[in-house]
Structure formats: C-alpha cells, structure tokens
Amino acid sequence: MSLYQPLSLINGQWVGASSGATFDVINPATGAIVEKVADLSADDCKAAIDAAEAAFPKWAALTAKERATILRRWFNLITEHTEALAELITEEMGKPLAEARGEVAYGASFVDWFAEEGRRIYGDVIAPHMADKRILAIKQPVGVVAAITPWNFPLAMITRKVSPALAAGCTVVIKPSEDTPLTALAVCELANQAGMPAGVINCVTGMDAPAIGQVLTGDSRVRKVTFTGSTQVGKILYRQCADSVKKLSLELGGNAPFIVFDDADLDAAVDGAMLCKFRNAGQTCVCANRILVQSGIHDRFVEAFSARVKAMKVADGKTEGSEIGPLINADGKAKVEQHVEDALAKGATAVCGGSPHDAGPLFYSPTVLVGVTKDMRMASEETFGPVAPIYRFDREEEAIALANDTQYGLAAYFYTEDLSRTFRVYEALDYGIIGVNTGIISTEVAPFGGVKESGLGREGGPHGIEEFLETKYGCIGIKL
C-alpha cells in the first residue's frame, strides 16, 4: 500500500477536489514536480468539518486507554517508516536527510508522549463552601479542532498539535502547508493503518489557504484552532476566531537572540550557535536570528564560528553529508538576499558568504556578518535563512536590552559559566523559551510557546494537552 495518496482525507476516505483541480508540489532543490495533489476549495473543506463533528461523540466516549492504544500503534508505524518519511520530507521541502530523520523521531515522540499523557487528565474534588454541597471539576475535550501547520517541519508540527488533541478526545481537521502536503498525507495514512476511526483525523489540501482558513475559523462547530506560522497570518486568524470565541493556540514568528558572554565556554558556544542557527538552513522559528557577543570574546568567537561556517556542505538534502539545503521558495530566498544587501549597505561586513550559492536557484551560501546594528532590517525582521548576523555588546544590561528590543518573544539563548548571571538573565529575558548553554531546546516533554507577538498557548509537556480541554464545574447539593 502506498504511504500516501495525492488526495485529501475526509471521513476515512481519500477524495479529490469537487472541481477535479490539482496543484504541483515542487522539490525546492531540483525544481522538479514531486506530485500533483488535490486542490480542494473552501466549500470542499466543509465536508471535513462534518466528518469531524460526526466522529467526535464516539471518540470522546472512548476511555483514555483505548485512545492511547491507537496512538501507540500510530507511533510504532511512524517509527517503522522513518526512512520513507524522511525521504519524503527532504524531497518536498529540502532539508538534509539526516535532519529529516531527526524530525521523524521528534514528531513521533509527541505521539508517544501524549498517548500516555491522555491517561493523566485529572479533575478535582474541591472543599465545599457549604455543608450540603459538594464541588467537582472535571476536564472534557473541547470538540472539533482545526490544525493549520507550516512547511518547515511538515511532520512534527502536525503531531505536536494533533497528538494532544486526539489524546484529549478531540477530532481534528488538518490544513497542511501547500508547499509540503505529502508528508501530512503520509502521516494520516499511517493513522488509518493504526486503526484511527473514520472522521477522527481529516486532512484537507488546497492552494487557497485564506479561503480554507476562513471556513475553519468561521464554522462554529470548530471549537479550537491551533496554528503555527507567521505573526501576520496569526493575527488574521485571531480576528476571525473572535466571532465564535474559539479557543486558540498560536505559535508565531520569532527574533531569537543568542547571547555569548565573556565568561562563556567558547567551544560550547560555537557548537550551540552552529546547531541553533543553521538547522534547516536557518528556516525555523527558534533559530538564532541575532547573535550578540560580548566584546571580550567577540573576535575569538567570530574567528572560530566563521571557520565552521565556511566548511559547511551546501547541497541537495539527499546528497551524502549535506548540511545546508535549499530555501523553500523564491520568496524565501529573496527575503534573505534583501536582508543581507540591506545590512551590507548600512555598514556590515560579510566574513563569509553573503551571496547565493551555485548549488541551485534556491540555495544561499551560509553567511556570517559582523558590524551589524539595530537599524538594519534583520535586527527587527525574521530572516529565515542561513545568515548569522553578529552584534557586539559591552555590558550585561546592554545585551538584555538589545535582546528584549523586539515585538517577538519566542526563544532566546545565552552562554555563561556564571551561576548568578544564569538566573539574572534567565529571569530578565522576555521570552517563552530560554536555552542556557545549549542551542537545542525542542522536546516533547516541555512547554513550547512564546509571549508578546510570538503567540498564545503552549505545545508539548503536560501543558500541551490542557490546550484541548475545557474545565466543567459541578456544584452538587446533597441531603444531610
């Protein structure tokens, strides 16, 4: 059986657009058409909501253990198909195959975690306010959930949202990015093979994302929307959800600072910066977007870091040893070019890179810029590419002020060997996620999410399942 169908999944069936329309999925490394996928209209997507609504009562009525059994089978199937899924991720969005394998493992970990976490949804017995009353608080699934997911982690961003929803007893409608629908469809096919009842998971593909988004946010039967993507689109969805007062989780843009203090372990800081900046060619919301280095260690850090960056292998993600794949599309590459050109024009210097790479039309050379200042575009906008801008600072207070000088607040990182500084800076940084002496912070067991214009809610850990539950209070009168 094929790992996926180039069709949408609605009520357990693979269906095409009512118009018969399709769209092309393009390999960004080669420009080749990977597949033609069903291009559903907004009206077509209403059938997915119908299916999710119809399936909800029976799915919610299952015991947590029964739901966990299906989720565990899903986890096992994802793990068994790691290589095929990784190849599919690389083919449709370009990340190196080694990173794609890591994404499959990361994505599967959420299914594993929430299969168990669903069995720990506890209520409360509350001390009553009157002798003839008893007070209970129970937690129940919110209902139908719409999950709108991005292209940069086409598997993990689905499982991070869908697994807690399913474990809580919700049913879901997934709208994957039009750039990377195939991974979503493959994961849904594995859910079918795991025995997921018809209508519990639905996946709609289509190019008209705004119209489909309006259907998902405008339908009162959808009680929860969870979205990962740009802050601009997140604000639109926020407004659209207001009319029906839906529960909402938003994981939006970032402008992550990566601070290296004079007392840092230099080698560890360089290692962390490499992982944090260049994973997925810099196309992640938690990538280091601004590297702030204290004056006493600045020159040594730049020298060591630049040497590592110059040695990186840029190639199609399927090439052995590839470390930097292509950018997702022409718009993504254009933004990177504009940010670098703006910085160079305003006085920055390229230590390495600074131009497109000859590996293909959508490749950009890993770049290190020094002399970057806060009046440059990349200081306030998310570059989303393999560009490492380095800022110099003198005092701890200056670094904190620079780091917090943004409307975003998703992830921040810093390196220091001073325990007192660790707590001062950790508490002072206005971000939802802080990495201290590490450049990798994502895990299924911890709450992932931002503050300010980086979003609402948390994904992962025990906090993640709470986003898909409602608390119901019962006041019970008794006879004494």
Q: Are 226 and 346 found together in one domain?
A: no
CA distances from 474 to 123, 129, 130, 169 (A): 11, 13, 14, 20
Confidence tier at 4 by pLDDT (50, 70, 90): confident
* 235 and 136 both lie in a single domain: yes
Is 311 among the domain residues? Answer: yes
What pLDDT does residue 142 have? 98
- Taking the whole predicted model, whether its pTM rises above 0.85 is answered as yes
Q: Are residues 140 and 278 in the same domain?
A: no
d(CA 407, CA 234): 14
The helix (run of H) or strand (run of E) holding residue 391 is: strand 387-393
In this structure, the answer to whether residues 262 and 335 fall within a common structural domain is yes
Does residue 155 share a domain with residue 264?
no
> What's the mean pLDDT when you consider all of the chain?
97
Is 316 within the bounds of a domain?
yes
- Domain check: are 15 and 112 in the same one? yes
> Per residue in 121-155, pLDDT tens?
999 999 999 999 999 999 999 999 999 999 999 99
Does the residue 2 lie in any domain? no
- Give residue 313's identity as a one-letter amino acid code: K
Give dist(CA 15, CA 54) in Å, integer: 18
CB-CB contact of 115 with 344 (8 Å): no
Query: Does residue 268 share a domain with residue 244?
Result: no
Give domain status of residue 232, yes or no.
yes
Q: List the beta bridge partners of residue 203.
A: 9, 174
Assess whether 237 and 351 both reside in one domain: no
Identify whether residues 427 and 467 lie together within a single domain: no
Provide the pLDDT for residue 2. 74
- pLDDT band at 373; cut points 50, 70, 90: very high
Q: Please say if the pLDDT value at position 1 is more than 60.
A: no
Examine the domain organization and report whether 339 and 229 are in the same domain. no
User: In terms of domains, do 97 and 175 share one?
Assistant: yes
CATH code for the domain in which residue 345 is found: 3.40.309.10
Is the pLDDT confidence value at 211 over 80?
yes
Shared-domain flag, residues 242 and 290? no
Residue 1 lies in a domain: no
Q: Render pLDDT for 301-320 as a digit per residue (tens, 0 to 9).
A: 999 999 999 999 999 999 99
Which band of pLDDT confidence, cut at 50, 70 and 90, is reported for residue 5?
Answer: confident
Cβ-based neighbours of 69, under 8 Å, separated by 6 or more: none
Tell me, yes or no, whether 3 lies in a domain: no
In a domain, 212, yes or no: yes
The pLDDT, as a whole number, for residue 51 is: 98
pLDDT in tens, 379-433: 999 999 999 999 999 999 999 999 999 999 999 999 999 999 999 999 999 999 9
Quote the CA–CA distance of 390 and 388 in Å, as a whole number. 6
Number of domains forming the structure of the chain:
2
Which residues have C-beta within 8 Å of that of residue 229, sequence separation ≥ 6?
A: 148, 150, 251, 252
User: pLDDT, tens digit, for every residue of 152-197?
Assistant: 999 999 999 999 999 999 999 999 999 999 999 999 999 999 999 9
Positions marked catalytic? 251, 285
Q: Over range 3-14, report the average pLDDT.
A: 94
SS3 222: strand
Number of alpha carbons in the 13 Å side-chain half-sphere of residue 235: 7
Quick one: CA dihedral 138, 139, 141, 142, positive or negative?
A: positive
CA atoms of 200 and 183, how far apart (whole Å):
18
Q: What's the domain range around 142? A: 8-252+453-474
